[in-house]
Structure 1
Amino acid sequence: MLNNTEMVARLVLAGALGSVIGFERERLLWAAGLRTHMLVCVGACLIMLVSAFGFADVLGHKDIVLDPSRVAAQVVSGIGFLGAGTILLRGEVVKGLTTAASLWAVAAIGLAIGGGLYVPAIATTVIVIGILAGVKPIEESWRGRMQTRVLRLTVKRGALTIDTLQAVAGARASRVRQFVVKPGSDPEVEEVTISFVRLSHTSVDAIAAKLRQNADVVSVEASEG
């Protein structure tokens, strides 16, 4: 059985590690921020303490068997309701999954501290912060490269073909996913839509600039698909 000082120390450490992860979420103005992560981590730690040591006074009784994992196990599934509250659906985009996952991780950290696993708890905190803060720029860069970008052009009839585009875009023409030509409002012009994948804004803008130099191109508009 732990003494009170050790238990309080574990609760304080849980609050401290939870605050480290919560601060990163607070910085991005998410609903589940500093206080939420601290509360989850401290609460999970206390549940672990209760699960492991809260029934010591009845262990000596006949037919009493203690499974320390049973109460703590409920945290893993029970934290889901709180994580679900941070997830929002905006149109076709889901927001808040990362914050929900960080709450789940914080609960696990609290359980680890409650069980006396200090080094794994601290190591997990460092890893989670690295994932939340360090991996995000890489993720955004990858998403940016994977995003579809579209050029919408108004050109003179027959002026823009696949061959013409390849001559302008060079090796970047391999990133063309769709090339659509439709009649324009004027019989003398056509509406052309070109979709690119895995091509940066800079590259698409460079292609658009070259197309604008073509005398047969009336207008060029770039947008994200």
Structure 2
Amino acid sequence: MTPFSPVVSAVAWWQPAVDLALALVLSAAIGLEREIRQKSAGLRTHTLVGFGAALFMLVSKHGFSDILGDSVVLDPSRVAAQIVSGIGFIGGGLIFVRRDAVKGLTTAAAVWLTAGVGMAAGAGLWLLAVLATAGNFVVMLGLTPLAARLPRSKHAQSRLRLSYADGRGVLRRALAECTGLRFVVDEVSLEQRGTSQEAGTVTVTLLIHGPGSIADLTSRLAETEGVLTVACADAEHL
């Protein structure tokens, strides 16, 4: 059987096809978690990143075998290095800063990891790709509750979104509750006032920090007369 036999060729190309399919499945699994949490980069973005990274790796490994010879020498690792550099443009586009709040860091890191998973699958390192995918879920699903239980720094900012009936002095009482629980209000911004559907309703965002309990603050504000809804999240949104 010659090296150019169709049977040998078909068998040889089953391996890259399986590598590519594995990258597709693992990347989609990572993207599904981001999609469920409604992040800026979700199922399709992560799947395409991992799938594309695997494709580039396979092209680097197998795409130039017909021109190799005594006078032609190729370095397959060069393509891998360019993938790592190029994925930074996508990750950088997911990160943005609004005043002092940084958003998208975790999603950008997930995209970066997804590219690594695709590269590992494309390189034929199946076990490494599967372990990296499993590690992603350990971090995303396991460490998030742990991080929420860690003691908050008094300098960590939180974003408080408050909707209330206009003209009743609710904002003044809400600010008093914040200072009474040892919070400092860094910023107050108006989001909406008196829409056609919610006439007389005001929605504001308070950027606060302090050593007090966020749970106690939201509970007190929810019980304040005139407050319609209250929600709080870390200023640095994952």
For the criterion TM > 0.5, the same-fold answer is yes
Question: Which residue identity is paired with 1:30?
Answer: K
Q: Deviations over 1:8-60 (max 9, x none)?
A: 11111101000111011001111210011111101000111111111111112
| Structure 1 residue 19 corresponds to structure 2 residue 25 | no
Tell me, in whole angstroms, the C-alpha distance in 2 between the residues paired with 1:148 and 1:26: 26
Q: 1:145-164 to 2 correspondence within 5 Å?
A: 146=154, 147=156, 152=179
Unaligned runs of 5+ in 1: 154-175, 179-194, 209-222
Match of 1:87 among 76, 80, 95: 95
Match of 1:66 among 47, 71, 74: 74
Q: 1:43-58 to 2 correspondence within 5 Å?
A: 43-58=52-67
Larger Rg: 1
| Cα displacement (A) at 1:109 | 0.7
| Cα displacement (A) at 1:152 | 3.0
| 8 Å CA contact 1:177, 1:196 repeated in 2 | yes
Tell me, in whole angstroms, the C-alpha distance in 1 between the residues paired with 2:71 and 2:138: 47
Question: Which residue identity is paired with 2:127?
Answer: V
| Cα displacement (A) at 1:177 | 10
Question: The residue matched to 1:152 in structure 2 has which SS?
Answer: helix
How many residue pairs align between the two structures? Answer: 171
| 8 Å CA contact 1:145, 1:200 repeated in 2 | no
Q: CA RMSD in A?
A: 3.2
Match of 2:15 among 6, 24, 27: 6
Tell me which moved more, 139-148 or 21-30. 139-148
Give the alignment's TM-score, normalised by structure 2.
0.62
Q: Identity across aligned pairs (percent)? A: 41
Question: The residue matched to 1:85 in structure 2 has which SS?
Answer: helix
| Residue of structure 2 equivalent to 1:39 | 48
Question: The residue matched to 1:79 in structure 2 has which SS?
Answer: helix
Give the alignment's TM-score, normalised by structure 1.
0.66
Tell me, in whole angstroms, the C-alpha distance in 1 between the residues paired with 2:60 and 2:52: 12
| Residue of structure 1 equivalent to 2:190 | none
| Residue of structure 1 equivalent to 2:39 | 30
Question: Which residue identity is paired with 1:123?
Answer: L
Question: Which residue identity is paired with 1:49?
Answer: L
| Residue of structure 1 equivalent to 2:85 | 77
Tell me, in whole angstroms, the C-alpha distance in 2 between the residues paired with 1:202 and 1:43: 44
